[in-house]
Amino acid sequence: MIQNKFGSFSLSNEIQKALRVLDYEIPTEVQERVIPLALEKKDLIVKAKTGSGKTAAYAIPICEMIDWLENKPQALVLTPTRELAVQVKEDVTNIGRFKRIKAAAIYGGHPFAIEKTELKQKTHVAVGTPGRVMDHIRKGTLPLSRISCLVIDEADRMLDMGFIDQVEEIIKELPKDRVTMLFSATMPQKIKDLSLNEQRTPARIDIHEDS
Ligand code: ADP
Ligand code: MG
């Protein structure tokens, strides 16, 4: 078996194979720090700049923990923009390809009926913007009972775009027994407050600018 530097995380062969296809040989610093803790189901608050590889840092552990047989979503990723939702869906699909993991992107401006159908079939990971996610929750088209992992990506942009109240509203609907990972390039007080309110003694990971 070919080993890569991701081999030290005790990832399944399916995930390691997918990382080789993606040409991810060496974990970035944020991946190095996040993956082992996320695999242990620790709550995390992570500060790391854009381009540091945050998506795979959470997508790898999420793909590891997905039970393919379960049709309802097991992870929910909140993103501030539709572009990011689509990108994260693609990244999750690529990392989870050999486990045949299904991800759905749900966001304003995208046909609701198509999303509804996708969510009704098999969706392991739902990725979406807060407004549309809340729409699906209200209409009962996004089942939350099996969600065991929540990711809040680009939390500072969520705040800038006025989405934090919606994020809080969504969190209230989620099962309490879950892991929550929060990622942000900057840590304004409002984001620290969100973490204090919604996370269980999270591990703090701070990747410095100059690294
Ligand atoms: P961030 O969310 O921190 O801004 P991304 O997760 O979007 O960063 O990753 C930035 C780029 O780096 C993407 O093009 C991604 O495919 C690539 N990338 C991520 N991790 C690795 C890795 N371990 N090896 C090589 N490229 C990587
Ligand atoms: Mg990102």
User: Is residue 211's pLDDT more than 60?
Assistant: no
Between 8 and 114, the higher pLDDT residue? 114
Q: How far is the CA of 125 from the centre of ligand 2 (A)?
A: 16
Q: How far is CA 10 from CA 5, 55, 150, 164, in A?
A: 11, 19, 22, 35
Which of 11, 24, 158, 181 maximizes ligand 1 atoms within 8 Å of its Cβ, making it the mutation to test the pocket? 24
Closest ligand to residue 57's CA = 1
User: Is residue 50's pLDDT more than 80?
Assistant: yes
Q: What is the ipTM of this complex?
A: 0.99
pLDDT averaged over every residue in the chain: 95
Averaged pLDDT for residues 46-73: 97
Task: Provide the pLDDT for residue 5.
Answer: 82
Q: How far is the CA of 160 from the centre of ligand 2 (A)?
A: 16
Give the binding-site residues of ligand 1, using a 6 Å CB cut-off.
24, 26-28, 31, 48, 50-56
User: Is residue 178's pLDDT more than 80?
Assistant: yes
Which of 49, 55, 153, 205 maximizes ligand 1 atoms within 8 Å of its Cβ, making it the mutation to test the pocket? 55
Window from 6-20, 71-85, 88-102, 166-180 with minimum mean pLDDT: 6-20
**The whole model's pTM is what?**
0.96
Averaged pLDDT for residues 180-194: 97
User: Is residue 3's pLDDT more than 60?
Assistant: no
User: Is residue 1's pLDDT more than 50?
Assistant: no
Ligand 1: nearest atom to the Cα of 185: 3
